[in-house]
Amino acid sequence: MFLLALALAPGLAIIFYIYFSDKYDREPLKNLVISFLLGAVSTVPAIILQTLLIPRLDFYVPSRAIIYNAIFSFLIVAPTEELSKFVMLRRYSYTRPAFNEPFDGIIYSVMVSMGFATVENIGYVFQHGYMTGFVRMFLSVPAHAAFGVLMGYHVGLAKMDPAKTDIHLMKGVLLAILFHGAFDFFLFLQGSPEVTVLISEGALFVAAMTCFYVAIRLSLRAIRLHQDLSKRQFPID
CA distances from 20 to 80, 99, 107, 156 (A): 30, 16, 10, 18
The C-alpha atoms of residue 81 and residue 108 are separated, in whole angstroms, by 16
Which pLDDT belongs to residue 129?
87
The number of beta carbons lying within 10 Å of the beta carbon of residue 99 is: 21
Q: Give pLDDT < 50 ranges for the chain.
A: none
Cα 54 to Cα 60, 111, 144, 147, 207: the distances in Å are 10, 28, 21, 23, 25
Which pLDDT score is estimated for 110?
98
Please, what is the end-to-end C-alpha distance for the chain in angstroms?
Answer: 45
Sign of the C-alpha dihedral, residues 48, 119, 145, 201? negative
For the entire predicted model, the pTM comes to 0.94
Q: What are all long-range contacts of 12-18, with beta carbons under 8 Å and residues at least 24 apart?
A: 14/110, 14/114, 14/141, 14/142, 14/145, 15/110, 15/111, 15/114, 18/106, 18/107, 18/110, 18/111, 18/145, 18/149, 18/223
> Residue 24 has what DSSP assignment?
S
Q: Which of 83, 98, 117, 88 is nearest to 12 (CA)?
A: 117
In the chain, alpha helices (H) = 2-21, 29-41, 43-60, 66-70, 78-91, 102-128, 130-138, 140-160, 165-189, 193-196, 201-233
**Integer Cα distance of 202 and 195 in angstroms:** 12
Count how many domains the chain has. Answer: 1
Query: Domain range for residue 193?
Result: 2-233
Evaluate whether 45 touches 172 at the Cβ level (below 8 Å): no
